[in-house]
Amino acid sequence: MRPATEDNSPRSRSARFDRYNPMNTMNEPGSATKKQVRELEETARELHALLSPCRLCPNGCGVDRLSGEIGRCGIGPSARIANHGPHFGEETVLIGDRGSGTVFFSGCNLACLYCQNWTISHGCEGADLTDVELADVFLRIQKSDCANLNLVTPTHQTHVIVAALAIATANGFDLPVVWNCGGYESIETLRLLDGIVDIYMPDLKYGANDVAQRLSGVPDYVDVSRRAAVEMHRQVGALRIDGDGLARRGVLVRHLVLPNGLGGSHEVLRFLGASVSPDTYVNLMDQYRPRHRAGSVAELGRPITAEEYADALRAAEDAGIHRFA
Ligand code: SF4
């Protein structure tokens, strides 16, 4: 789907337009030191307090998860994961030689009609783990020499993730932590992650709230995800990549181009360039396929065209974006 001509490929655009110089970031956001074990334990306690009534994410369901009530995300107080291990399908800057150490969390705080992993996200397939067992998963990923710990769809399980990080850190865990989320994050929860997450990798899915309501079931996605992206950038700054080509710290934004302009690519990219930073590292994704319940919306019923993707690339360039995955 990506245009075949060399001049229009994101990688060649990146080479031509990447004016980013990490030496110029001395006064930029992202200088916080990592939280140590005691601080992680304290943060885990603060996050647990957000579960009853649950306001861990912007859905604010208000259910008492500590007593077993279940909100929109479908998950109780324990961790539930579908699978974990080295993964080579992520962005090049995350995988290195040994892969990105992904942990796929079950459940989700969004309800996207076109979800590719719906049996995990909506069906909540997976196994329940204690914080000690989850910490063991993190340590095994480090033992596998993965480039990072890549937490996929973590938002609604933040409390147990941080508790597990405290245990793992006490036992020598020190990989960069990647927060691989849908972008629907509360500022209160994000602030508690300051000094814990090294690389934020949010989706920015939409440019209009009414489309988000129709396709992902939340009424305020654009406002919430934009505030979240600004907070993420405040914490960790633009993505910094080391001499081995691996991401170390910063924000990497994913935007999936949807057919018929449903993803609002122009609005999303304009916002990123103007209100986050033109140095934002962006993965402009072309792989949309109509899956799950996408057939219920006529405009979602086909892959994108080459022209739709080229149009999104032009929008990125017009917004001053110049760093592409
Ligand atoms: S984390 Fe789950 S239960 Fe809590 S507010 Fe979000 S969707 Fe609701």
Residue 151 lies in a domain: yes
Cis peptide before 154 (omega within 30 of 0): no
Give the pLDDT confidence score for residue 2 in this predicted structure.
Answer: 33
Atom 5 in ligand 1: which residue has the minimum CA distance?
60
Mutate to test the pocket of ligand 1, among 50, 52, 55 (most ligand atoms within 8 A of CB): 55
Specify the pLDDT at position 131: 97
Residue 37 within a domain: no
Contact 9, 313 (CB under 8 A): no
State the residue range of the domain holding 205.
80-324
Residue 67 lies in a domain: no
Q: Specify the pairing of strand 100-105 against strand 177-181.
A: unpaired
Closest ligand 1 atom to the C-alpha of 70?
A: 3
Q: Please name the residue whose Cα sits nearest to atom 6 of ligand 1.
A: 57
Question: Could you tell me if residue 23 is inside a domain?
Answer: no
Tell me, what CATH number does 279's domain have? 3.20.20.70
- Ligand 1: atom nearest CA of 50 is 4
CA neighbor of 318 nearest in space, from 290, 278, 291 = 278
Considering the domain boundaries, does residue 102 fall inside one? yes
Q: Which atom of ligand 1 is nearest to the CA of 54?
A: 4
Q: Report the half-sphere exposure of 196 (CA within 13 A, side-chain side).
A: 27
Q: Is residue 60 part of a domain?
A: no
Atom of ligand 1 nearest to the CA of 71: 3
Q: How far is the CA of 227 from the centre of ligand 1 (A)?
A: 18
How many distinct structural domains can be found in the chain? Answer: 1
* Structure token pair of residue 183: 């972008």
For position 4, what pLDDT does the model report?
A: 32
* Block mean pLDDT (10 aa), the chain, length 325: 35 42 51 88 98 98 96 97 96 94 98 96 96 98 97 98 98 98 98 98 98 98 98 98 96 98 98 98 97 94 98 97 96
Q: Within a domain: residue 300? A: yes
The pTM (predicted TM-score) of the whole model is 0.92
**Nearest-CA residue for atom 3 of ligand 1:** 71
**What pLDDT score was predicted for residue 3?**
33
Q: What are the tokens at 320?
A: 């001053």
The DSSP bridge partners found for residue 249 are 240
**277 alpha carbon to ligand 1 midpoint, in Å?**
30
| Closest CA to ligand 1's atom 1 | 156
In a domain, 25, yes or no: no
- Residue 25's pLDDT is 46
What is the C-alpha separation between 298 and 218, in angstroms, rounded? 20
